[in-house]
Amino acid sequence: MSLRARLFLVIALLAFLPNLVLALTLGLMGEGPWLPLLLWLLLLALVSALVGFFLARSLLRPLEELTRALTYLSLKEGPVQALQLPPPKEPPPAEVALLRRRFQELLARLQSLLEAREAFYGALAHDLKTPLLSAIRALEYLEKEDHLGRARRVELLGQLKEELSRAYRLVENLLALSRLEARTPQRETLNLRALVEDLLLRYREEASRRGVDLLVEGAGLARGERLLVERALANLLDNALRHARNRVRVRVEEGALAVEDDGPGLPLPLEALAQPFRQGGTNRGSAGLGLYTAGRVAEAHGGRLLTCQSSLGGACLRLELPSAREL
């Protein structure tokens, strides 16, 4: 049954029932034929029905107007940024006016999210194009130059590998963010020491090339999805290796990982550095997704990413996760 029908019945019954009781009471107390009383009751029923119909229609008119406005929005073509609720033909009741304001706020929120997504995709295309274009130019140079020495060829191939690695890290972070948006993390008990040692094996060559020692100390367990935690830790290691002078150390604790280096430290507060596609960043091709992804992974697990005190004198970032002892 529609809201209009329910409101009609309520108003009609409220108008008819008291008169019905009063008419029957007077009829039972008095004397005379019942036909006029029945005709009077029929008239009361008709009048009550008319009153219910018109009052229900009048009370629901502002709501129906809002429904038509929302239907207009759903059928209107064009950019979302141009969508606006048409003004009401007459001042609506306070409750409907509040509902209109909430719809306007929701529409503004949707427009803001779409603008942010467009900016996100635009910055993504730019940051992904940069390493790919550099790699293409390096390949073109290698193709045209026939008399490159071994040292120069190795240098160019190293640059090519570095540019493609930047693009690969960007794609990996986007996949991790997409996984976080699609579902909640699948939690399992993780041996953090073993996870760190496995991941450090992938960074030994790069660390050796940069002249940086990779160290790990401590032990502990945590609850989380292994691939996501590995992605977050890899981002912290990438950041530490870019800035470290001689050493990067991973401290493993119960339900936490801390990555520290002996570099110059963080140039800005963590909240600013963890903004995706930040402008004016110092790491070309990084797109600011590394720390942002690490923070999102921590939050999705019920933890957090925060700064800590480094005994090496540089930056220290701590990834906190649910402890396995909390089960």
Domains and CATH numbers, the chain: 3-110 (no CATH), 117-181 (1.10.287), 185-326 (3.30.565.10)
- Distance from C-alpha of 164 to C-alpha of 133, rounded to nearest angstrom: 10
DSSP per position, 232-274: HHHHHHHHHHHH-SSEEEEEEETTEEEEEESSS--SS-HHHHT
What are the tens digits of pLDDT across the range 223-245?
Answer: 999 999 999 999 999 889 989 99
pLDDT at 280: 43
What are the tens digits of pLDDT across the range 179-209?
Answer: 887 788 888 999 999 999 999 988 888 889 8
- Sign of the torsion angle spanned by Cα atoms 53, 57, 58, 60: positive
- Distance from C-alpha of 76 to C-alpha of 156, rounded to nearest angstrom: 54
Enumerate residues 6+ apart whose C-beta is below 8 A from 27.
Answer: 34, 37
pLDDT at 179: 81
pLDDT at 101: 86
- Distance from C-alpha of 270 to C-alpha of 273, rounded to nearest angstrom: 5
Count CB-CB contacts under 10 A for residue 45: 15
- Distance from C-alpha of 23 to C-alpha of 38, rounded to nearest angstrom: 9
Enumerate residues 6+ apart whose C-beta is below 8 A from 47.
Answer: 15
Q: What is the DSSP letter of 53?
A: H
- Distance from C-alpha of 232 to C-alpha of 292, rounded to nearest angstrom: 9
Supply the pTM of this predicted model: 0.62
Residues of the chain with pLDDT under 70: 1, 26-34, 75, 77-82, 119, 123, 126, 276-288, 326-327
